[in-house]
Structure 1
Amino acid sequence: MRLLLVLTIVIFATSCTTAPEADQQPELLPTLVPDISFRNLGPGNRQLELINSIVLDPAAGEEARIVQTTAQEKEAIAIVFQPASGDTTYIRMPDADGARAIAVIDEDVFIGTYLKGQVFHWRQGMETPRAFQLPRPNGERLEFVFSVDKASDGFYYIGTWPEGDLMRLDLESGTVTNLGPMTDDPPREYYLRHINTEFEGRLFLSFGTEVSFKEYNLETGETREFLPASMRDRSWVSHSTRFRNMIVALVDSPSTLVFIDADTGEFVREVESPGGRIWPHNFKSLLVHHEHIYFGTIEDDQLYRYSFDEDTFEIVGQLGHPIGLAEDDLLFARTRLGFYTIYDLSTDNIVLQRQSDFLGDGMLVHSIAEGPDASVVGGTYINQGLFQYRTADETMYAPGRAVEFPGQIDNLVTFNDKVYLGHYTKGRFSVWDPQEDWSPGSDQDSNPKTLGTVGNVQDRVPHGVVGPDNRIYFATKPEYGKLGGSLVVLDPETEEFTVHRNVVKDQSVYALVPDRSRYIYASTSVRGGLGARPAAAESKLFVWDTQSDQKVMERSIVEGAYEIWGLDWLAPDTLVGAADSVMFIYDVKGDAVIKTKICAPEEIKKVVTSRDGWIYAMTEERLLRVSTDLESVQTIDVHEGYWDSMVETSDGRLFVGRGPDLLELVRRD
Structure 2
Amino acid sequence: MRSRFAVIPLLAALLTASPAEAATACEPPGHQTYGTASTTGAIVGATVHEGRAYVVSRGPKPPVVAEIDLATRKVTRTATLPDGPAAGEPEGGWATAVSGGKLYIGTYPVPDLYSFDLASGQVTHIRSFGAQGGFVWSLAAAPDGTLYLGTSSDGRVWEYEPSTGAVRRYGVLVSGEHYVRAVAADDTTVYAGLLEKTRLMAVDRVSGAVRELAQGPGAVGTIALHGERVLASSGSSLLDVRKDGTDLRTIPSGAGAIDAFAPAPDGGVYLTARPDGALFRYRTGDTALTKVAAPPAVGEETRLLHLDGGTLTGLSGSGILWTLDLATGATRADDLLDIGFPAGAERVQSMLLVPNRALYIGGHFAVEVLDLRTGERRRIRVVGEPKAMTRRGNKVYAAMYPTGQVISIDVRTDEVRTLGTIGHGQSRPWDIEHDPVTDTLLVASAPTGANLKGALTIVDPDTGHMEVHHDVIRDQSLMTLAVDSPNGIVYLGGDVLGGGGTPVRTTAALAAFDLRTRSVLWEAEPLPGHRTFQDLKVHDGLVYAVYKRVLGAWAAFDPRTRTVVRQGLLSGHGELQHHRGRLFTSTFFGGGNAYELGEEARLLATGLGDEWHTAPQLQFEPGSWNAWTIIGRDLAKVRLDPGCPALTIPAAQS
Q: Same fold (TM over 0.5)?
A: yes
Hey, what's the Cα distance between the residues in 2 that align with 1:312 and 1:506? Answer: 34
Given the alignment, which residue of 202, 205, 208 partners 2:189? 202
Contact 2:38 2:361 in 1 (8 A): no
Hey, what's the Cα distance between the residues in 1 that align with 2:352 and 2:317? Answer: 27
CA shift in 2, pair 1:452/1:660, >3 Å: farther
CA shift in 2, pair 1:631/1:48, >3 Å: closer
Given the alignment, which residue of 101, 107, 110 partners 1:113? 107
- Opposite residue 388 of structure 1, the aligned amino acid is V
Given the alignment, which residue of 225, 228, 247 partners 2:212? 225
Q: Show the 5 A alignment for 1:547-626.
A: 547-570=516-539, 572-580=540-548, 581=551, 582-600=553-571, 604-608=573-577, 611=580, 615-619=584-588, 622-626=591-595
472-481 or 173-182, which moves further after superposition? 173-182
CA shift in 2, pair 1:624/1:569, >3 Å: farther
Partner SS, residue 279 of structure 1 = strand
Partner SS, residue 336 of structure 2 = strand
How far off its partner does 1:503 sit?
A: 2.3
How far off its partner does 1:420 sit?
A: 1.2
Given the alignment, which residue of 266, 278, 288 partners 1:290? 266
Hey, what's the Cα distance between the residues in 2 that align with 1:76 and 1:54? Answer: 16
Partner SS, residue 517 of structure 1 = helix
Instruction: Please give the TM-score of this superposition, normalised by the length of structure 2.
Output: 0.83
Partner of 1:131: 125
CA shift in 2, pair 1:154/1:468, >3 Å: closer
Contact 1:430 1:450 in 2 (8 A): yes
How far off its partner does 1:562 sit?
A: 0.6
1:577-632 deviations in whole A, cap 9, x for unaligned? 223331112234443212222333x5x23233555967433136752344533365
Given the alignment, which residue of 357, 361, 367 partners 1:386? 367
Please tell me whether residue 518 in structure 1 is matched to residue 487 in structure 2. yes
Hey, what's the Cα distance between the residues in 2 that align with 1:413 and 1:174? Answer: 51
Partner of 1:443: none
Hey, what's the Cα distance between the residues in 1 that align with 2:432 and 2:288? Answer: 44
Hey, what's the Cα distance between the residues in 2 that align with 1:645 and 1:113? Answer: 24
177-186 or 33-42, which moves further after superposition? 33-42
Partner SS, residue 522 of structure 2 = strand
Please tell me whether residue 377 in structure 1 is matched to residue 360 in structure 2. yes
Partner SS, residue 20 of structure 1 = helix
Q: Show the 5 A alignment for 1:398-413.
A: 398-403=378-383, 407-413=384-390
Contact 2:446 2:478 in 1 (8 A): yes
CA shift in 2, pair 1:40/1:379, >3 Å: same
Hey, what's the Cα distance between the residues in 1 that align with 2:328 and 2:412? Answer: 43
- Opposite residue 78 of structure 2, the aligned amino acid is Y
Contact 1:616 1:623 in 2 (8 A): no
Given the alignment, which residue of 49, 53, 58 partners 2:42? 49
Partner SS, residue 289 of structure 1 = coil
Partner of 1:102: 96
Please tell me whether residue 308 in structure 1 is matched to residue 284 in structure 2. yes
Contact 2:483 2:538 in 1 (8 A): no
Unaligned runs of 5+ in 1: 1-8, 58-63, 439-446
Instruction: Please give the TM-score of this superposition, normalised by the length of structure 1.
Output: 0.81
Contact 1:462 1:475 in 2 (8 A): yes
Partner of 2:348: 365
Partner of 1:235: 218
Given the alignment, which residue of 72, 84, 90 partners 1:85? 72
Given the alignment, which residue of 179, 188, 192 partners 1:191? 179
Q: Show the 5 A alignment for 1:319-468.
A: 319=296, 323-326=305-308, 331-334=312-315, 338-341=320-323, 343=325, 348=327, 353=332, 355-358=334-337, 360-373=343-356, 375-381=358-364, 383=365, 385-393=366-374, 395=375, 397-403=377-383, 407-436=384-413, 438=414, 447-468=415-436
1:316-375 deviations in whole A, cap 9, x for unaligned? 43446663355x66643446662422647xxx4679845233251233210112325364
How many percent of aligned residue pairs carry the same amino acid? 17
CA shift in 2, pair 1:523/1:605, >3 Å: farther
Higher RCO (C-alpha 8 Å, min separation 6): 1
Hey, what's the Cα distance between the residues in 1 that align with 2:63 and 2:188? Answer: 33
Partner SS, residue 345 of structure 2 = coil
Hey, what's the Cα distance between the residues in 1 that align with 2:317 and 2:615? Answer: 27
- Opposite residue 284 of structure 2, the aligned amino acid is F
Contact 2:48 2:306 in 1 (8 A): yes
CA shift in 2, pair 1:568/1:202, >3 Å: same
650-659 or 236-245, which moves further after superposition? 650-659
Partner of 2:458: 489
- Opposite residue 237 of structure 1, the aligned amino acid is V
Instruction: Report the number of matched residues.
Output: 609
- Opposite residue 255 of structure 1, the aligned amino acid is S
How far off its partner does 1:495 sit?
A: 3.7
Given the alignment, which residue of 233, 237, 256 partners 1:250? 233
Given the alignment, which residue of 446, 452, 457 partners 1:477? 446
Given the alignment, which residue of 619, 622, 634 partners 1:661? 634
Contact 2:570 2:601 in 1 (8 A): no
